[in-house]
Every structure is written in C-alpha cells, then in structure tokens.
Structure 1
Amino acid sequence: MPSATAGTPEPDSLQRQFAVAAERHHVPQSVLLAVSYLQSRWDGHGGAPSVTGGYGPMHLTDAVTALASAPHHADGTEDARGDDARAPRTGVGAVASPPAGEPPARLRTLEQAARLSGRPAAELRTDPAANIDGGAALLAEAQRAAGLPASADPADWYGAVARSSGADDTATAAAYADDVFDVIRSGQSRTTDSGQRVTLAPDPAVVPATGQLAALGLRDAAKGPVECPETVACEWVPAPYEEFGDGDYGNHDKADRPVSQSVDYIVIHDTEADWDTTLKLVQDPTYVSWQYSLRSSDGHVAQHLALKDVGWHAGNWFVNAKSVGLEHEGFLTSPDSWYTEAMYRSSARLVRYLAQRFGIPLDRQHILGHDNVPGTVTSTIKGMHTDPGPYWDWAHYFQLLGRPITPSAGPDAGVVTIRPDYTANRPVYTGCTTAGVACAPHGSGAVRLHTAPSADAPLVKDIGLYPGGQEATTGVNDTGARASTGQSFAVAERQGDWTAVWYLGQKAWFHNPPKEPTAVDARGLVLTPKEGLASVPVYGRAYPEASAYPAGVPVQAVSPLPYRLLAGQTYVVGGRTPGEYLFAPTFDTTGHAVVRGQEEYYEIQFGHRVAFVKAADVRVSQG
C-alpha cells in the first residue's frame, strides 16, 4: 500500500494504468477494462480481498490460506429450520471445514499472474498498477493457449475472456463472456473507491467471435429440472430428501408452493465456505438446505431444491415456508470483504426472475438479508445469523434489480429510506479478525443509530440481544443499532443534520445532512397502536390462533418477542399476511398440512430485522 506520506494519485492514473498494461501485453484496452469491471467495478478495496480471496481491480485470487474454519450453518448458534415442532437443525455433525488440499485453479490466479508478469505476489495484492498488469498477462496467456493471435480487435478475444472466467462448464463461461462484451458494447464510467475516474467508451458495433467457445473443451453442466432465467448459467445439484435414523430426515421438506402457500420473501445469504464445500454440504442429508448457490468468480448458479419445496436456511420456520434462499459463495474468516460484480449481476437476474414468478415486491421488506430475518421467540434472537452483513452493497444490487433507491416524496416526508453513498460511507466496525479491533476501512450500506443527535451519544439498545439493558456495540456482527440500505422507517423527529426514526420501540438518530444525505425521503404505509392501546406486542412469526388448528396438529405458541410497539410510535408496513403454519414434521408427507387462521398480521420494519404485529391491534395510515 502507498505510504502515509505518498501523494494523492492523479484522478486519471488508474485509467492510464489500464492503457499501459493493455499495450504491454497486447490486449485490447476495452477487453481489459470490461473484464476488470465485471470482477470489481475497477475498485481496489484498499488491498482487502474479496469473499473468495481475490485482490485488486482484476480480482486476482490467492485463496490458499483464506479458507474459513466453519461453514455458514455449522456454527451451532442458529436452528436453520426454526420450527418448534422439531428438534433444532444447526448443521452440527456435517462437514465442518473445507476439504484439505489445494484450492481449484480459479482461486489461485494470483500466483499464475506473478509468474507471467514477473511481479511479486505481494505487489499484485496491494499495487493496483501491478494488479492490472498481472490481469492483462493472464488474458494474453489465455489468448495464446487458444492458439489465437494477439489481435487488436476485441471481438477476437471472446474465447480468452470465457477461459479467464475460471468456469469449468460451457454455459457459465459463455454467460461470463457475454456479460463482458455487453459492458464493451454499452460502455461504463464511474469514480472508484479510491477516487479514480475510469471510463470505457461504448463500442455498440462489436460482434464477438462466440464460435471460439467450442475449442475450450469445457463440460456441459447438468441442467436437470432447473428453474432459472435463461440469462444465467444454472445447473442442477439436488439436495437429498431421505431418512436416516430415529425418524430424522433431511434436508428439506416437500411442499406444493405456491398452491399451498404463497412465496413472499427471497433471503440473501453468504456461505462462509468455498464452492466445493458448499455443494458437498447441501448434498448431505444430515445438514440443511437452500434453493440456490451462487459462485463468486463467475456468477455460476446451482439449484438444489424445486421451488415448490421448503428449504431449511433462514432460522425462522414461518419465513422458510414462504421464502426462497440464495447462498452466495464466500469463505474468508474476515467479514470485511467484498463481492464480485459477476456474482451481483447473476444474483440480481435470478431474483428478478423469482420476484416475477411469485409476485414478490422488489423492496427490502421482501428481499431480505439473512440478518433481517427475525428470531422466532425471545430465546432465539441472539443466535440469529448476521450475513450478508454491512458490506453487501444493497444500493448497487437494487440498481441491478431495476429498482434503484431514489426519493419518492418531498423534503420532510414522514418516511425515510436508508441510502448512504456506499463508497464514502465508512463507519468504524470492530471484530472482523480480532474481537474489539477495528476492521479495515471499507464502504458500507449501513448507518449507525444513536440515542441522541450526536456522534458522541450512546448507541441505541436492543433488549433482545442485550437483556441487561446495555447499548449495542460497533461489532461487525452486532445488528442492534444498525439501519441498512433500502430499509424504510417512520420519521420520529428531525434536528439539523440529524434524523430520528422509530426503531425497536425507541427514537434512533442517524447523521443525515441535506448536502450529503444518508437517507432519501419516501412514501409508504405506516401503522401505530389503535386508540386506547398503550402498546401492542411484536412477533417474530405470523402464526394462526389456537382455534385454527385441526385435530392432530399441535397448536404452535403465538409467543411475543421482548419488544413493544408503543402508542405514538409508527412503523413502515411491509405487507399483510394471514396467520399460517406449515405442519411438516415427518418424512411421510401424507400428514403434512397448512394451518391458516382468521388472525391477520402486518409485517413491519421494526429494527434491523423485520417483525410482525396483529392487524387487530393497529391502525394503518399513509406515511
């Protein structure tokens, strides 16, 4: 990294570095820029690696020592199934760590770039110019390996681009190369996280030589009964549905959605395991399951469950029964890492497809992070997972979804939607590598919430996480005083550069200066307790009333969380849902049933996680 006394780089120096590397290795500059954009959007991330150990603008991977110690659902804290009718399913006893041995070649491109460019590996990790040079050397080598000349025409580099994806199947390599050439045709321009302005002029006339793909000798992916848009490369890697000992079975439930129940949510996860381990885990009947996995390097998708069936992934049975789970590859022990553009784009295409198929609104009350799923009851709140965390770029993700987060109301509206500048917004987090130690500076889509309009004021309290009444912390996995991009809250008060929202039953203040706002004004339905009620209970699931359960189906407790929604407070409504419970505790599906009651609930944005209140307890108005 540059020394503390080093001068500020010229704002166009990164652009020049692409030009120099392209000329040195005889790679068309547009190809080099487009490949880099699809990996990192030209960001350097301050030398920090991606979720799969990729460094710098070219995402050169060095994952040999970056494997995680425990996969996502194997840490013993969260019951991924989240159903009180069954024993907890935490994943304990399944594969506990990635397999020994060398990571695949797609996760070791940095060492190859070092050999080809003659630059030290340490330099490739930290120096953007060296990193770009190493990436250009890899592209030039891929062109030579294909037996093709170093043409100045970008159209002649389709095969090399496809090979550089690291994909081992034809469909994924083609999807990646098509994305790169879409970037070349449309052009891009942006200011990077280091303040560099980079531009790729559009070249709409380029027609790539797609016939080069056949010569790469890649496998055909196992298509099977996949349910994916044609715009992503998707293969079938089925999760098992089988019995094993003592009446237990795994690793999902058969269902008939959306005939039996509506699908209302899509849950975004990260795996905390590498790709091969992720696939091994989801094929283990003693483990847990989700519908899709997405690979970091190239956006490849594997589907594991039919969409009609229910996965065990969110830690809340009500949400599991009404959701689709997407696991995104990532296996670094440090959460202060970043995700590739290839994976963001593939994920967004899949989510658009699912939203259209099931009529799911493209908003943050229905496109949830795992960290937004509520605990089922008070005892489960502390164990709920916190991925994908504060470094997932929700603003960019929603741009790719075609629903950019923009103002929908004038100044001083009664609702705000969180929307900081991801690159410039760098709150201090701790505990990425060592408890209490500050994480590396990094862009974030989250803002921190205080008890008063001052950065020195204590953070707000989450009595579910901290029953003793202490304030939340700056820990990277502490969601107790955090509002995330896209989440909408009712405004409680405004003072100068600060805005207060209603959050977990209290006023929560965040810095929101008019010239550099961290939220946009919005419209939306809000609710508050009905007249005469001092407070109403808040729930982590929307279960039916006791009288709705037929004989043979045990009544599930409608147990409130420790929070209260107080008179005079308002919260943004995400939707209205009937009380429902999917009874499916056995391998034999003949006794399964959906219990649906008369009691209805509203989903609300209550804190960092969503929650539910009974419709009979509240009144709804326009915010």
Structure 2
Amino acid sequence: MRRPAAPRVLGAPRRRRLLICVTATAASAALMVPLLTGRLAHGPDDHRLQIEFGEAADEFHVPRNVLMGVAYLQSRWDSHPGVPSVVGGYGPMHLTDTGTPRPADSPPGTAAAGPPGTAASTPAQDASAPPGDLRRAARLTGVPAEKLRTDTAANVRAGAALLAATQRQLGKSLTADTDDWWEAVARFPGTDDKVSAATYADDVFAVIRKGAHRTTDTGQRVTLPASPGVRPHRPAKPPRPKEVECPPELDCSWLSAPYVQYDGGYGNHDLADRPRDEKIEYIVIHDTEASLSSMFQTVQDPTEASWHYSIRSKDGHVTQHIRTKDTAWHSGNQLVNARSIGIEHEGFLTQPNTWYSEQMYRSSARLVRYLAKKYGIPLDRQHIFGHDNVPAPTGGSIPSMHDDPGPFWDWRHYFDLLGAPLRATGGEQSGMVTILPDFATHEPLFTGCGGDHDHSPCAPHGSSAVRLYTEPSESAPLLQDPGRHPDGAASTQDVNDLGSRVSAGQTFAVADRDGDWTAIWFQGHEGWFWNPRNHPTAVGAGGQMVTPKEGLSEVQVFGRALPETGAYPEGMQEPTQSPLPYSILAGQRYVTQSRLGGSYVDRSNFVESPSPVVKGGEQYYEIQLGHRLAYVRAADVDVVDVPVAAGPEPESGQDGHARRK
C-alpha cells in the first residue's frame, strides 16, 4: 500500500514549518480569549480609501473605474499595511518589491521587511521593471519606497502613476475612455506570458462591468459602480498548447512528474485510466508551504509526493505535471488519490498576513470549474475540499495528516468564483446548517504561526474557520479529538489544530439550539458555536443525513471505502479495513452528499500499464464527520431527507462588524 504523501520539501515536515509570522504581544491570559477584537465601527473615516482612489485617478488622468478595477484584482482593495504577499506585493495596488525577501527565505520569527526606501530625487527610469514594480513607482512619484509599503494613499497614488506611465509607453493618450486602457491593464501585473496577461485584463474589465462593493481588512467601505457598457479594445489571444488539460482562457504550461523505478521503489505517481477504471469525483485544494520553484524540484523527484497542477501566486499561471487520467500521490489517502485531482497553490498556511492573490483564486476557480464540468464533479464542499478535509485512511495516521490550505483560505469567495455560491438552502430552524461566517470580518484567535514551540497569538486575519465548544459558552472547553490527540490532550487554538473547528461551506446536522448558540453533531459529540440571528456564522440547509439503523447502538466510521472480503482476486494481499477512533451513536445524524461503492487498487509494484481496480458490492456513504470527511457502511445507516428550500441570502458582513468565534 502506498505510504502517505511525502513531505513537500526534502528534510522538512509539512505540518509545522518554521515560517515567519507577525505576532501580537499579549498577556498569557489572552490565549484563552476566543476572539480578537474586530474592526472599529463605521465612522466618518470609513470612506477614506474611496476618496483616495478618486483623487489619484484625477491627478494622473486614469479612469477611476480602471484604477479601482486593477486594485480589486490585485488585492480586493485590502491593505495589509507594511506586510508583503508571497511575491513581495504591498498595499491595495499590490506593488511588488523585488528586493523584499520571500517569506520562505526569511529566518524564522522575523518579518520580511524590505530594503530602505528609494530616495525621492532618484530619476524615473528603469523601463525594464514590471509595470507594477514598487521601486519604479517610487521613482515616478518621488515618494520613498518605504512609504509606498505602508501608506495606503501613497500606494494608490503610485498605482495610478504606473498605469498612466504604461499607457504613455504604449503610445496612447491618457483618455477618459475606459475601453482604451485594456493593454495598460494587461501589463500591470508584470507577467511574462501573454495569455495570463490577457486573462488578467479580461478579469479587471469583468469587475468594471459588474461593479463591486466590500468592506476591506481595515474597515474601509469601497464601491465600484457597475459599467455594463464597457467593451475594451483588445487584441486576439495567442494560441495555447494542446498538451495540457486547461480551459482556453488560462495559459497553462507542462512540467512532467516522473514515473520511474529506483532502488527500493518507484515514483512519483501511478498509471491509471480514469474515469474509465475509476470515477474522478473529488478535487483537493492544497497550498505549497514553499516557493513554487522549490515545489517544481519536488514534483520532479521520483521519491517525493506529486500532484496534478501548480498555480503561481503572482499571476495565477497554471503548470500541469500529471495527466488527469493518472493518479497523483497528494492526499495521504489512497482512496482519495484514486478518485481525485490535486491542485497546489503557492502560499503559506501559518502566515495570515501573507495572502493568496486574487489572480491565483481566479485561475484556480477557472481550472476547477473546467475539471468539474469535464468529469461531472459536483461543486460542493464534499467534493471540492482542502487537504485538511481529507479523511485519514487509518486511526494511526490521523496525527500526521496535513492541514492545508488552512483557516485563511477564503472558501466563500472561492465558491463565488466557481459560480456555485455558498448560501442558505433551508429555513432558520432546519435540521441542517451550512457554516458560513463572513470571511473579511470574522477573526477568531489562532496561535502558533511562528512554528512548533510558538504559542503566541497570530496576527488578526479574516478566516473561514469557526470554533466549537462542549457547551453553549465561550468559556467552555473545546472538543477533545481522540484521533488527533490520542493521548487525551485537549484541543487548542493552534492554527494547525483541527480537533474542534469547522469551515465555511461544510454542512452539519443540528443537534440542539440554545438562544444565539447552535450545536452540531461532530465526531460523535455535540459541538456548540455562536450563531446569532443578526450576524449568523451558519445558515439553514437542506439535503440528506444518515443515522444508525434502528437497533444499532453505534456505527463504525472509516477513512476509506474498501471492497468487502471476497472481492479481491486470488493472490492479491487484502488491505485491512480498520475503523477510525470515532463512532456514530444511535440518534446522531451526519450530512451526506455522496453514496459510493468500495474500491481498491494494488499500488505495491511498478507496472507498465494501469493496475486493475478491485470493485465489490459493499456500498458506503461519505459523511461530514468533523473537520475531515469519513465513510460509513450503507448497510449500517438509514437516510433522512431534509427539505431543500431557498433561504435568504446570508449576511455579507459589509457593515464591518466583527463576528464572534
């Protein structure tokens, strides 16, 4: 049987890399507080960024909707003052500073501060610099680079100056006609490939046509009015390679993962003939926890893990490594590997102020939408999920399972981009709920961003995660997880600890309600979370649940769906089906969105053609057991239907108030 996915960087464990993190100074008692203070309530200053966009656009004669559209694609108007992204980008305009150390290259426990600012008297030159380059912006505006990193108004003004300079370099006038700015916009992110640049510009103009409104990370309320009549003047896209499996609007390249023998084994994936021999029904979202160049070395190593696609942060460029018909080793669970496609995203789980770029989100959503349509994969959270949702194949493997993309991946925004928005599908008193906090304003406390021995609070950051308690009280203990903490230790607020938390888009059966608190069934226990009606962290849902058949006091749960004994051909070593250290007690209910047959492929030897898939008659239901998925035998449970009815749109959080828990 194939081992769990290997570490992503040679010699370094994946779960807890010693990565940098900006931490808050707090008394030890603060570690018990479940929530950091949210943003300030709205006041006269909460439209300051809106005004700054207008002033900068007017000063440099750039259409206001062009400047705001570019900023939306760069950062969704968030500032992250003074803190770089994974590619060294700063501020709402995400101006990139090539002198900033990449987070992966910075020493543990230090902030990746850029070099000193450029002198104001430096002449405006360096035409070879990328259009969105921070140092070029400093020369154009006469503002020190350090100020462009930390001052929002200066950052926006610099973005306008860069757009105007690029428009002039193209030999065009600084016209008020939005349609004439497409080429300048396409050059702004500084990407080398023309298809990615064209896709970026198309995305900016799609935002301009549709309009946008949101509250930023600093509480600024920003609105871009819709301009549905905008039709930019754009050249035709260049032809794309036929070798890769990508939607036509993405620029995708190929970097092959090896399939070779070596002393003691083979790697780093398996030949298959999917979907003919095994249905593809999952797409697993990963983050790299390393620079993409390092990951490219890993994926070409036959002794390492593998995945199908990598997506670059700075521009959303997609690289394919393995044909989707073949099986990559990416999830740590052979069943999930055999039925899934794995996509790695350049990013860092434990660095909440190092954010995933909007270009990467959009490229990923385009790719997933294309793959889901090609293979008939439902766009829901039991089929599109993170590595942190993959079930452990056995109880003993639970502590070593990976936790990416983590609590700072914006599932709500991601599913909006997929065209399958997460929303209420049942009434307020439904027997099922979908977890749905407002990412931008929901800031639960996490610890441990500095590494294994760091217990200080992480910097405040929007999150998809909602924490669970044993009672309807923020002073109650967290739920104990016998799989993750087999020694009986309590669950923690550590950023990697999934033992007592759920995530946006996951749907659970309601166990109880008490005022502003809701309890769900979670790994065999009631888990309570704060869910006030005026600012809900979950919405009503409909669908199907499973519950133990009458007469059964409890039902075993499994990390893989294997065929029954007797289904295996003679001579094949039969894998052992061992239950996970959880069980479903009589009366408990768990949400299911999939019924599947057991299957198994012997991956023990190098072969020149795909190994046969063993399929039996045993049927299973996939369930949302806890933060991770799991499987139960269909023969052990009954299915309970909960009516699906269109509910109200969930609270968007654009009022800027912080959510609790």
Read off the aligned partner of 1:54 and give its amino acid letter: G
Deviates more, 1:155-164 or 1:33-42: 155-164
**SS at 2:335 equivalent:** helix
- State the Cα deviation string for residues 124-149 of structure 1 (Å, max 9, x = none): 22221122122223323333443433
Q: Does 1:352 align with 2:369?
A: yes
Q: 1:189 aligns with which of 196, 213, 217?
A: 213
- How far apart, CA to CA, are the structure 2 residues paired with 1:304 and 1:620? 40
2:253 to 219, 235, 245: 235
Question: Which aligned pairs between 1:464-543 and structure 2 lie closer than 5 A?
Answer: 464-543=483-562
Q: Give the structure 2 partner of residue 562 of structure 1.
A: 581
Query: Which stretch of the first structure deviates more once superposed, 404-413 or 596-605?
Result: 404-413
1:140-539 correspondence to structure 2 within 5 Å: 140-211=164-235, 223-246=241-264, 248-331=265-348, 334-433=351-450, 435-539=454-558
Letter in 2 for 1:532: G
1:167-189 deviations in whole A, cap 9, x for unaligned?
11111111111111222222222
Deviation at 1:231?
Answer: 2.7
What is the DSSP-based 3-state SS (H/G/I as helix, E as strand, rest coil) of the residue aligned with 2:621? strand
Q: 1:495 to 1:332 in 2, by over 3 A?
A: closer
Which of 15, 32, 42 aligns to 2:77? It is 42
Native 8 Å contact 2:134 2:145 kept in 1: yes
Number of residue pairs matched? Answer: 581
Partner of 1:53: 88
The one-letter code sitting in structure 2 at the alignment partner of 1:566 is L
Equivalent in 129, 132, 146 of residue 156 of structure 2:
132
**SS of residue in 2 equivalent to 1:381:** helix
Aligned to 2:647: none
Alpha-carbon spacing, 1:521–1:105, altered in 2? closer, same or farther (3 Å): farther
Q: Distance in 1 between matches of 2:641 and 2:209?
A: 44
Q: What RMSD, in angstroms, separates the aligned Cα atoms of the two structures?
A: 2.5
Q: Structure 1 pair 46/591, CA: closer, same or farther in 2 (3 Å)?
A: closer
SS of 1:560's equivalent?
coil
Amino acid at match of 1:250: G
Q: For the residues of structure 2 that align with 1:335 and 1:602, how far apart are their CA atoms? A: 35
CA distance in 2, matches of 1:145, 1:282: 40
8 Å CA contact retained: 2:349, 2:406: no
Aligned residue identity for 2:403 = T
- Name stretches of at least 5 consecutive residues in structure 1 with no aligned partner: 71-103, 215-219
Structure 1 residues 371-429: Cα deviation after superposition (integer angstroms, max 9, x where no partner): 10011112211111111111111111111112212211122111000001111211111
Are the counterparts in 2 of residues 315 and 384 from structure 1 also a CA contact under 8 Å?
yes
**Superimposed CA distance per residue, residues 256-311 of structure 1 (whole angstroms, 9 cap, x where no aligned partner):** 00000001100011112223333333233332211111122222211221111111
The aligned amino acid for 2:485 is: Y
1: distance between equivalents of 2:494 and 2:530? Answer: 19
Alpha-carbon offset, residue 108 of structure 1: 8.7
Shift of 1:588: 1.7
Instruction: Give 1:495 deviation, angstroms.
Output: 0.2
Contact map agreement 2:347 2:355 (CA 8 A) in 1: no
CA contact 2:268–2:305 (8 Å) conserved in 1: yes
Counterpart Cα distance in 2 of 1:439 and 1:32: 32
Give the distance between the partners of 2:537 and 2:67, measured in 1 at CA.
Answer: 34
Aligned partner of 2:61 among 6, 21, 26: 26
In structure 2, give the amino acid aligned to 1:344. Y
TM-superposed deviation, 1:555: 0.5
Give the TM-score normalised by the residue count of structure 2.
0.83
2:592 corresponds, among 543, 558, 573, to 573
Answer yes or no: is the 8 Å Cα contact 1:236–1:303 preserved in 2.
yes
- Residue deviations 1:514-553, cap 9 Å, x none? 1111000111211111222221211111111231111232
Deviation of 1:222 after TM superposition, in Å, equals: 6.9
Amino acid of the structure 1 residue aligned with 2:584: L
Q: Write the distance in 1 (CA, Å) between the matches of 2:450 and 2:314.
A: 23
- In 2, Cα distance between the equivalents of 1:324 and 1:6? 43
Note if contact 1:170-1:221 (Cα within 8 Å) is conserved in structure 2.
no
1:428 partner amino acid: L
8 Å Cα contact 1:316-1:375 kept in structure 2: yes
Deviation at 1:506, TM superposition (A): 0.6
Q: TM-score, normalised by structure 1?
A: 0.88
- Report the more deviating stretch, 40-49 or 553-562: 40-49
Distance 1:599 1:106, change over 3 A: farther
Q: How far apart are the structure 1 equivalents of 2:558 and 2:136?
A: 53
1:586 is matched with 605
Deviation at 1:53, TM superposition (A): 3.4
Kept after mapping to 2: 8 A contact 1:269/1:369: yes
Which residue, out of 596, 620, 623, partners 2:639? 620
> Can you give the 5+ residue segments of structure 2 that lack an aligned partner in the other structure?
1-21, 23-38, 107-127, 643-661
C-alpha contact (below 8 Å) 1:335/1:476 kept by paired residues: no
* Mapped contact 2:63–2:176 kept (Cα < 8 A): yes
Same amino acid, percent of matched pairs: 55
Describe the shift of the 1:129–1:617 C-alpha distance in structure 2 as closer, same or farther (beyond 3 A). Answer: same
Corresponding residue of 1:97? none
Cα distance in structure 1, aligned partners of 2:152 and 2:577: 55
What corresponds to 2:25 in structure 1? none
C-alpha distance after superposition, 1:234-258 (max 9, x if no partner): 2222222223333x22221111000
Q: Which moved more, 1:279-288 or 1:450-459?
A: 279-288
SS at match of 1:382: helix
| Shift of residue 9, structure 1, vs aligned partner | 5.8
SS in 1 for 2:382: coil
Distance of aligned partners of 1:207 and 1:245 in 2 relative to their CA distance in 1, 3 Å threshold: same
**In 1: Cα distance, 2:295 partner to 2:168 partner:** 33
Look up the match of 1:548. 567
Rounded to whole Å, the distance in 1 between the matches of 2:523 and 2:458 is 27
Deviation string for 1:62-107 (max 9, x for gaps)?
463233269xxxxxxxxxxxxxxxxxxxxxxxxxxxxxxxxx9769
**Where does residue 12 of structure 2 map in the other structure?**
none
User: What letter is aligned with 2:232?
Assistant: P
- CA spacing shift, 1:53–1:611, aligned 2, 3 Å: farther
SS in 2 for 1:161: helix
Give yes or no for contact 1:52–1:329 (8 Å, CA) kept in 2.
Answer: no
Q: Distance in 2 between matches of 1:578 and 1:333?
A: 37
- Partner amino acid for 1:163? R
- Deviation of 1:123 after TM superposition, in Å, equals 2.4
Give the Cα separation in 1 of the matches to 2:137 and 2:624: 47
- Which one of 58, 65, 81 corresponds to residue 101 of structure 2? 65
